[in-house]
Amino acid sequence: MVRRVHPSAIVDPGAYLAETVVVGPFCYVGDDVHIGEGTILHSHVCVFPGTRIGRKCAVWPGAVLGGDPQDHKYKGEKSLLVIGDNNIIREGVTMHRAVGEGIATRIGNDNMFMACSHVGHNCEIGDGNTIASYVGLSGHVTVEDNTVFGGMVGVHQFCRIGKLAMLGGLSKVNQDVPPFMLSDGVPARVIDLNKIGLRRSGVPPASRTILRQAYKFLYRADLNLSQALARIEDELDMTEELEYLVTFMRGTQSGYAGRGNERR
């Protein structure tokens, strides 16, 4: 495949397009944009200056990538949106550059952003995430790896979503959601361990059992966070997954999603 740019597309001379990029009808690609091998902009896609798109991404009509951040602190400084490889970015998705000179909003690899989802300024998105339609990630949100967002989830600024977490549709997330947990509600509350996600990701049964016990210390015992972590460290075998969970919980600054009604 060779580079193909539709005659109706506008590509700034300062943009770099790899040899196998396809730019469809009525797209706009601005100055200081880099697009990697095999990426396709289907049609009516806007890619603004300061955007980097990796290899083999598919960007669907109406997506707007690298727009100015929606933040009063932004004063026109040059910042970046950096998108990795093999991402699917569906219709109407918006992703904004960061606030701060030379700082980037970062998207990892192998993510799917469904129609009309939004990634705000200074977000850090990992790999393998599924973000459903109309999800809104406010500025400075961190999403780790292999999470699943239901439709219309809203995430408050500076919240963290731990890896292999799953968030039910229409949730309002205003605190960190720990790794490996299933959350739902307004506000979002943890209702169970994400057992299906753990099994599908290949986490061994013994480690899943230990995570289940840790979940009970955190959410089903009458313990505060310090007490729960102390019992986890004293009483449970420290697997790789459990160590990850403990480290995440110790790093929370804005609080973490509390206890909901356990799913039956």
Whole-number average pLDDT of the chain: 97
Rg of the chain taking only CA atoms, in angstroms = 20
- pLDDT one-digit tens code per residue, 172-228: 999 999 999 999 999 999 999 999 999 999 999 999 999 999 999 999 999 999 999
Q: What digits encode the pLDDT tens for the residues 240-252?
A: 999 999 999 999 9
CATH homologous superfamily of 4-143 equals: Hexapeptide repeat proteins (2.160.10.10)
Mean pLDDT of 98-118: 99
According to CATH, the topology of domain 199-250 is Udp N-acetylglucosamine O-acyltransferase; Domain 2 (1.20.1180)
Pick the closest to residue 215 from 170, 259, 149 (CA basis). 259
Confidence check: pLDDT of 264 > 80: no
- Tens digit of each residue's pLDDT (9 = 90 or more) over 6-17: 999 999 999 999
What is the percent of the chain with per-residue pLDDT over 90, rounded to a whole number?
A: 97
Every domain range in the chain assigned CATH 1.20.1180.10: 199-250
pLDDT tens per residue, range 114-150: 999 999 999 999 999 999 999 999 999 999 999 999 9
Each residue's pLDDT tens digit, 29-41 = 999 999 999 999 9
pLDDT score recorded for residue 263: 72
pLDDT given at position 2? 73
| CA 116/CA 67 separation, integer angstroms | 15
Long-range contacts of 141-146 (CB under 8 A, 24+ apart): 144/179, 145/108, 146/197, 146/201
pTM: 0.97
Residue ranges, comma separated, of all CATH 2.160.10.10 domains in the chain are 4-143
Lowest mean pLDDT among 62-66, 161-165, 260-264: 260-264
Residues in the chain: 264
**For the residues 52-78, what does the mean pLDDT come to?**
98
